[in-house]
Structure 1
């Protein structure tokens, strides 16, 4: 496996994992992380998949190692960044499987509904995807307000690893989640919160039916952030071609909590794409 990490012309950080031998090199699996995270959230799964497939991991604008270019972001901004990275890395002509966690599950749905003509998408993997609602927008508006004047995310880092994980999550995994949160700037976190808030401006509920590509949904039994009832269930029922899989004793940080199961599910899904 070969690894290349670099920045785009706009300061967006990415990593490409390429198999030593050209196996299944007609496609690329694009990994997109959630709020308060980084490309390393997906790294354990991408590392395994890169034995066969080209894998592209991205830090969203303002997250972890990527530069923040505007104070508040939208889903359109994040979609444009993905398009730019694919073009600058020469991967845009390949068949694309989008893999997104939480906020990025919502972003993938946005791309399929509104920007699908810009990407050669052959499949989607939604991991604990967020369904945008007025209630969710209110929660993140309050979170933005609570961060005014804050210098770090230390308060969140001491709560989220416990409140947003499942009963089987061990201390080492919680420590990793804590570090991911601490690696964010307040400004970048707020900018990405805004993308979740602004998602209420799009009619996702009535547009999910426009998503035609095969879609794998992976969700946690104990996920309170993106629960099945009132959230993931709505997405699963509305998209035409889905398979939903529940992971036992798993919360919202699904890949970190259960990397082996996630790898097996994605590997099986990608085979015929």
Structure 2
């Protein structure tokens, strides 16, 4: 399994074009950042829709197969790791894709690292608020005491929409059970302490995908983010009967939306 080290974090990742050679002059490199309790595998159902691009999926520090070594985590440190991955793989610019917590990361990258970011795709992006702080602090306390089982037994049902199947919920449960409780708790604290990005500073092409039944990243929050982004090339799509696990619940629709966005904006 490929790993790289950046900012003293050993990160597991996958690369659809490990040689670095892009399929065409119009191809882009996309870097995918998952959400809390997830891993790079969250994105695998949609990758077949992006054969003309280089897709790099990362297990963030303390998630999936990226080991947790006890360091504090923040949205800023995850964003720094993404830039570090780009540096290690000699990627000058990329389109960044982030789900949930990863949405916090990619909006920060789009606002603070404009010279490195060609586009931002936010899927169910989290918008910080007081309710979220309480939820994340409680989750951190729960997993620190009882491990991942309580999260695995509740989130697949509470955070999905009406169309979610038993197989999809089982996959979500497996993603959650595979987390290191200490790493998960650290990420909960990172989300609880996060601040909203400077959305108005994002001026690159921007796509936001929301779930109609998403209770974690509400339509209200998604609309707030979208309305404040200043890009002249921005688009928002809402998936009917979908909750917070968009790429699992509606992989074909999400894949098509990304494919169309990439073709429309970049021509590939």
The answer to whether the aligner puts 1:245 opposite 2:237 as a matched pair is yes
Task: Return the match for 1:224 from 215, 218, 222.
Answer: 215
In the alignment, which residue of structure 1 is the partner of 2:87?
87
**CA RMSD of superposed structures (Å):** 1.8
In the alignment, which residue of structure 2 is the partner of 1:129?
125
Structure 1 CA distance for aligned equivalents of residues 169 and 86 of structure 2: 32
Task: Return the match for 2:204 from 192, 201, 213.
Answer: 213
Structure 2 regions of 5+ residues with no counterpart?
A: none
Report how many residues are paired: 258
Superposed, which structure 2 residues align to 1:118-267 within 5 Å?
119=116, 121-150=117-146, 152-200=147-195, 204=197, 207-229=198-220, 231-241=221-231, 242-267=234-259
Structure 2 CA distance for aligned equivalents of residues 52 and 115 of structure 1: 25
Structure 1 residues 77 and 69, CA gap change in structure 2 (3 angstroms) = farther
Contact 1:105-1:127 within 8 A present in 2 as well:
yes
The answer to whether the aligner puts 1:7 opposite 2:3 as a matched pair is yes
Structure 1 CA distance for aligned equivalents of residues 109 and 129 of structure 2: 18
Which sits farther off after the overlay, 95-104 or 35-44? 95-104
1:134-179 C-alpha deviation (Å, 9 max, x unpaired): 22112211221223333x2011101111100000000000000000
Structure 1 CA distance for aligned equivalents of residues 36 and 176 of structure 2: 9
Contact 2:136-2:189 within 8 A present in 1 as well:
yes
In the alignment, which residue of structure 2 is the partner of 1:107?
105
Contact 1:19-1:53 within 8 A present in 2 as well:
no
Contact 2:49-2:256 within 8 A present in 1 as well:
no
TM-score (ref. length: structure 2): 0.91
Structure 1 regions of 5+ residues with no counterpart?
A: none
**Cα offset for 1:240?**
1.5
Structure 2 CA distance for aligned equivalents of residues 140 and 247 of structure 1: 25
Contact 1:39-1:59 within 8 A present in 2 as well:
yes
In the alignment, which residue of structure 1 is the partner of 2:17?
18
Contact 1:102-1:128 within 8 A present in 2 as well:
yes
The answer to whether the aligner puts 1:68 opposite 2:68 as a matched pair is yes
**Cα offset for 1:19?**
9.2
Structure 2 CA distance for aligned equivalents of residues 250 and 24 of structure 1: 34
TM-score (ref. length: structure 1): 0.89
The answer to whether the aligner puts 1:32 opposite 2:22 as a matched pair is no
Structure 1 CA distance for aligned equivalents of residues 156 and 188 of structure 2: 18
Which sits farther off after the overlay, 126-135 or 69-78? 69-78
Contact 2:22-2:54 within 8 A present in 1 as well:
no
